[in-house]
Structure 1
Amino acid sequence: MARYRKRPIEIEAVQWTGDNEAELIAFTGHRFEAVPPQDRAEDPEITAQVFDELHSTWVGVFTGQHVIRGVKGEYYPIAEDVLAETYEAVTD
């Protein structure tokens, strides 16, 4: 088994509050949209979705998750506790 350590890179993220769709649309370049309640049959907890260009698919986003812009310009959701364990705030 090989072991790896994540390289120290900076990312940008915006938290989805359920009320800031315009902010996330601007952040993702129109690759984000809220999901209306009637369209949540698969998972009623998913309140939005973001397009993951690396995998050419829409990914569900739960209220409270952050949407990250990755190193290749891709967007994906991450839970707040995972964000806190994986990243630290940049203060400069």
Structure 2
Amino acid sequence: MGRYRKKPVEIQAVQWTENMSMADLAKFTNGLVQLNDVEREFRVYDRLHDTWVSFEYGDWIIRGLQGEFYPCRPDVFAATYDAVGVRGEALDAEEYGA
């Protein structure tokens, strides 16, 4: 069995919080999101796997390399991703809320 390292790629992501507007999340996901704030049921469409995936407040919604969307828990996001600035330089996790 071999060992592998994930290739460094940049993704786009937003963190779904109670302060984020539903309209902003819908815009980010190109409308591929279902939001029911009353029942606290939120789902985003993962077109690569042709399925709706549930997420919660605090989760990050990632736009993947092929334009797909999927949620990521905050602890996994913080362990996996570093924020990058305008020119690609890394930022501290505290600067993006992780």
TM-score (structure 1 length as normaliser):
0.84
Query: How do 1:6-85 and structure 2 match up within 5 A?
Result: 6-18=6-18, 19-35=20-36, 36-37=38-39, 47-85=41-79
Q: Is the CA contact (8 Å cut-off) linking 1:17 and 1:64 kept in structure 2?
A: yes
Q: Distance in 2 between matches of 1:14 and 1:21?
A: 12
Aligned residues: 84
Superposed structure 1 runs of 4+ greater than 4 Å apart:
none
Instruction: Report the identity percentage.
Output: 46
Q: In structure 2, list runs of 5 or more residues that go unmatched.
A: 88-98
Q: In structure 1, list runs of 5 or more residues that go unmatched.
A: 38-45
Name whichever of 18-27 and 79-88 sits farther off.
18-27
Q: Distance in 2 between matches of 1:79 and 1:58?
A: 16
> Once the two structures are superposed, what CA deviation does each residue of 1:23-67 show, in whole Å capped at 9, x if it has no partner?
110001000121341xxxxxxxx6310000001110001111010
TM-score (structure 2 length as normaliser):
0.79
Q: Report the aligned-residue RMSD.
A: 1.3
Q: Is the CA contact (8 Å cut-off) linking 1:69 and 1:76 kept in structure 2?
A: yes
